[in-house]
Amino acid sequence: MSTAVTTWSLELNAPEELRPATLPGDGSGVRIVRAEVPSPDFQRFLYTAVGTDCSWTDRLPWPPERWREVLERPGNELWVAYERGTPAGYIELAGQDEGVVEIGYFGLLPDFRGRGIGAHLLSYGTARAWDLGDRWQTRPATRRVWVHTCSLDGPYALDNYRRRGFTVFDTVTAVPSVRPRRPLGAGSDA
C-alpha cells in the first residue's frame, strides 16, 4: 500500500528576498564549485548518492546521452559543494523561459547532512540562479527562482527553503501510482 506524498512548490520573486545562511564555524573546509565539464557519470553519481534515501528515481533509466543533453543545455548549471575535497552535495539550476530558473535538484550526501552545509549550498546556489543571465548572454535576467520539495525529501528540506526566504505557492498531496524503485547501489531491504 502506498502512502500519500505531499509536494510543495516554493518561489522567490526578487533577489533581495533571499535570506542567505553562512556556514557554522569557520567554514574553511567547504567550497562550492561549478562543474563546467559535462559528465553524465558524475551527475548520475551525485543524483543517486543524494537521492537514494529520498526515493529519487525519475532519472535512473536515463542513458548517458540524456544526462549529457540536460548538462549541456544553455542556462543549466551544476554547482557542487565539497568538504575538504570530498563531494558533499549539489544544486542543479535549470534556466527556463522568460527569466525563470528552477532549482531542479538539490541535496547533500547523507554523511554531510545536519551540519549547516545544506543551508550554505542552497544560499549560494540560489544566488547563482539570480545571476545566471550574467554567465549566459542568451538568457534574460532572472525574475523568479522556484523549487519543489516533497515529504519524501530530508526532514529539514522544507524548513531550509523557508528559512532562505522561499514562500509556498502550491501544495499537492497524492498517492503515487507506482512504488519508487530502489536506486542502483542502494542497500538491500533484507
pLDDT of residue 183: 38
Amino acid at 79: W
- Determine, yes or no, domain membership for 180: no
- Determine, yes or no, domain membership for 26: yes
For the chain, which residues score pLDDT lower than 50? Answer: 180-190
SS3 91: strand
| Domains of the chain: total | 1
Cell, residue 165: 526566504
The dihedral through the CA atoms of 66, 71, 76, 81 has a sign that is positive
- pLDDT tens digit string along 173-186? 998 775 544 333 33
CATH of the domain at 57: 3.40.630.30
- Determine, yes or no, domain membership for 188: no
3-class secondary structure per residue, 107-175: EECHHHCCCCHHHHHHHHHHHHHHCHHHHCCCCCCCCEEEEEEECCCCCCHHHHHHHCCCEEEEEEEEC
- Determine, yes or no, domain membership for 189: no
pLDDT of residue 137: 87
- Determine, yes or no, domain membership for 185: no
Q: Are 146 and 11 in contact (CB under 8 A)?
A: yes
- Determine, yes or no, domain membership for 34: yes
* Entry pTM: 0.89
- Determine, yes or no, domain membership for 187: no
- Determine, yes or no, domain membership for 184: no
Q: Which domain holds residue 100?
A: 5-174
On average, the pLDDT of the chain sits at: 89
